[in-house]
Structure 1
Amino acid sequence: MIARIWHGVTPIEKSADYLRLMREVAIPDYRSTPGNRGAYVLHREEGDVAHFHTLTFWESEQAIAAFAGDDITLAKYYDFDGDYLLEKEPRVTHHDLYDR
C-alpha cells in the first residue's frame, strides 16, 4: 500500500471554510476513486495560519494516477483552492506502507 501526503496552508480566518470544503468535496473525491483505501484530513492551527495535510492510502501507483494524473508526484488542486491557500505547493510525497 502507498500513503500519499499533501500539505497546504490557509490564513486562519479561512480555515473553517476550507476544512468544510475538504470534507464535502476533496475527501469524497479521493474515496470514490477506485483503489483508494482511505482519506483523512489533518488540521493544525499555528499563529495566524492553519496547516492542512491530506493523508490518503492507495493500493497502487496506477490507482493514484487515476486520481492525480500520470505524474503522481504532482499535487492535485480543486477550483476553490486558489481562494484559500497561501501557496499551491507543487508536489506531494509518497511512502510505502507496511503493516508487518
Structure 2
Amino acid sequence: MIARIWHGKTKVEDYEAYTEFTKKTAIPDYSKTTGFIKLSFLRNIKNNEAHFTLITYWENLEVIKNFAGEDFEKAKYYPEDDDFLLEFEEKVEHFEVFA
C-alpha cells in the first residue's frame, strides 16, 4: 500500500469554506478511483494560516497514476483551488505503508 501526502494552506477566513469544498469535490473524486483505499484529511490553524494535509492510501503506484497521471509526483489541483489556496506546492510525497 502507498500513502500519498499533500499539503495546502488558505487564509483563516477560508477554513470552513475550503473544508466544505474538499468534502463536496475532492473526496468524492478520490473515492471513485479504482485502487483507492481510504483517506485522512487533516486541518489546523497555525501562524494565522489554515493548513490542510491530505493522506490518501492506494493499492500501488500504478493506481495512483490512474488518478494523478504519469507524473504521479505532481500535485493534482481543482479549478476551485484558485479561489482558496495561498500557494500551490508542485509535488506530493509518497511512502510505502509497512504497518
TM-score of the superposed pair, with normalisation by structure 1: 0.96
Distance across 1 between alignment mates of 2:78 and 2:29 = 10
Q: Map residues 12-51 of structure 1 onto 2, 5 A cutoff.
A: 12-51=12-51
Unpaired segments ≥5 residues, structure 1:
none
Provide the identity percentage: 42
AA aligned opposite 2:97: L
Count of aligned pairs between the two proteins: 99
Distance across 1 between alignment mates of 2:88 and 2:15 = 15
Partner of 2:68: 68
Unpaired segments ≥5 residues, structure 2:
none
Distance across 2 between alignment mates of 1:21 and 1:41 = 12
AA aligned opposite 1:80: E
Which consecutive aligned stretches of 4+ in structure 1 deviate over 2 angstroms post-superposition?
Answer: none
Distance across 1 between alignment mates of 2:46 and 2:61 = 33
Displacement of 1:47 in angstroms is 3.3
Q: How large is the Cα RMSD of the aligned pairs?
A: 0.7
TM-score of the superposed pair, with normalisation by structure 2: 0.97
Partner of 1:84: 84
Distance across 1 between alignment mates of 2:84 and 2:96 = 30
Partner of 2:5: 5
